[in-house]
Amino acid sequence: MNRSRRCRAVWALAIAGALAAGGSLSAGQDATAPELKAAFLLNFARFTIWPDNALPAGAPLMFCVSGDERVADAIEELARRQQVQDRAILVHRVKADVAAVCHLLYSSAGQLGRDRLLLRTLTATPVLTVSDSPEFAKAGGIVNFYVDNGKMRFAMNPKAAERAQLKISSKLLNLARIVKDGSNAFDS
């Protein structure tokens, strides 16, 4: 195995281990369980750097959830036991018009109008946007959950992260399917 593949494998195992430890999933749960999404979200935050003016030293990380109470509950449960980058995690259930107070925003699938508004509202704002809406990352979101062969996967749009002034670790990018801004799935 060449060095690049070996490094990828080591980081994949490290992140997978962190996800498994944080998610505490039983063997019977499917890949789209709210607990698994919550574990992924915490790990996305672990591998993201916000600008100093958006996240001052010692400030808590504000995780916002729009549309799925079960994911919000799962993040709250994990936040009781864990921190991210030595920061407390606060969870806030939001509507699209107040999302700019967030550091990370998870928007569940199924609300086309809400997703369109979120992406317009948060353009160039240092918010890590995540959704399981189809084509979310191609439409300008940063992270997009999808299921492949029964397993939770994610795609990332590095240009969207750059516009949001966020630095995503190459270790995380190496595990993602990279997408570019493209045919906007939300323009119909």
Q: What CATH number is given to the structural domain containing 82?
A: 3.40.50
Question: Could you tell me the two tokens for 80?
Answer: 């009781």
CB 127 within 8 A of CB 105: yes
Q: Is residue 185 part of a domain?
A: no
Confidence band, pLDDT 50/70/90 cuts, at residue 101: confident
The crossing angle, in degrees rounded to 10, of helices 69-81 and 34-46 is: 60
pTM: 0.79
Residues 1-56 have pLDDT tens digits of: 544 444 343 344 344 444 443 333 334 444 448 999 999 999 999 999 999 999 98
Residues 49-92 have pLDDT tens digits of: 999 999 988 899 999 998 889 999 999 999 999 989 889 999 99
Q: By residue range, what is the domain housing residue 158?
A: 3-178
Residues 110-164 have pLDDT tens digits of: 765 677 777 888 888 899 999 988 888 988 899 999 989 988 999 999 999 999 9
Q: Is residue 148 part of a domain?
A: yes
CB 22 within 8 A of CB 42: yes
The crossing angle, in degrees rounded to 10, of helices 34-46 and 3-23 is: 130
